[in-house]
Amino acid sequence: MTTSTKQQSAGGAPEYRAGKASRRFLRNLVWVLVIGGLFLGGQGVRYYLHYAQLERIREETDKLYRSVLGPDIGGSPFGRLQFEHGKLLASRRIGLDPLAVLAGLSLPESQGVRVDMVDLTGSRGRVRGFFSGDEAGFLRYAEKLSDDDRYLFSVYKIVELGGGVSFSLNVEPK
């Protein structure tokens, strides 16, 4: 090597090699694409797992709404649940509905039943009356009262009189 060549390589401008720079660029590009692809793949798996979990939660929530509200849950089942809850709270605050209690007493065959007094205070009440028949007939009537969906009727007192039975029933919501 001559001295001028040594000076050029030692102190001169570096030699540009296009092939080497292209290979380095492509190698770096491949690494960036691989790392970016792995990142995007991981995010895709994460998204899929969260989506699958969300679908399971939606199915279970829908099943729960249907068990409470019936098959037609409507467009806003949560709002409907709030409405039903408000109705239940209102009936608890108001107490027993006298007309509904009388309707419950008249559901079974009640031609021989006469209601003399209904005393409803809060969530409990007492009904006194007269049943024209024997004690066994009254007990069958009281048994049929247990079919009521809203109220629980229980026998408090029975007094057999000539020609009928005087009774007192306790009533409370189910």
pLDDT per residue over 44-61, tens digit each? Answer: 999 999 999 999 999 999
CA angle 168, 159, 169 (to 5 degrees): 10
In this structure, the answer to whether residues 61 and 111 fall within a common structural domain is no
pLDDT classification of 91: cutoffs 50, 70, 90 = low
In this structure, the answer to whether residues 160 and 119 fall within a common structural domain is yes
pLDDT at 65: 86
Domain boundary among the residues 43, 74, 94 is at: 94
CA 135, CA 157: separation in Å to the nearest integer? Answer: 12
Helices (H), 95-134: 98-106
pLDDT at 24: 93
Domain boundary among the residues 65, 94, 123 is at: 94
The residue range of the domain holding 52 is: 1-94
Name 135's Cβ contacts closer than 8 Å, sequence gap at least 6: 158, 160, 165
Are the C-beta atoms of 153 and 142 separated by less than 8 Å? yes
* Strand 164-173 relative to strand 124-131, pairing: antiparallel
In this structure, the answer to whether residues 107 and 46 fall within a common structural domain is no
In this structure, the answer to whether residues 114 and 168 fall within a common structural domain is yes
Domain boundary among the residues 78, 94, 110 is at: 94
In this structure, the answer to whether residues 5 and 75 fall within a common structural domain is yes
Helices (H), the chain: 3-11, 18-69, 77-94, 98-106, 135-145
In this structure, the answer to whether residues 73 and 48 fall within a common structural domain is yes
pLDDT at 78: 84
In this structure, the answer to whether residues 157 and 79 fall within a common structural domain is no
- The pLDDT tens digits of the residues spanning 116-150 come to 888 888 778 999 999 988 888 888 888 888 888 88
In this structure, the answer to whether residues 138 and 67 fall within a common structural domain is no
In this structure, the answer to whether residues 85 and 105 fall within a common structural domain is no
pLDDT at 64: 87
- Is the predicted pLDDT of residue 1 greater than 70, yes or no? no
Residue 19 dihedral angles phi and psi, to the nearest 5°: -65, -45
In this structure, the answer to whether residues 3 and 73 fall within a common structural domain is yes
CATH number of 120's domain: 3.30.1360.100
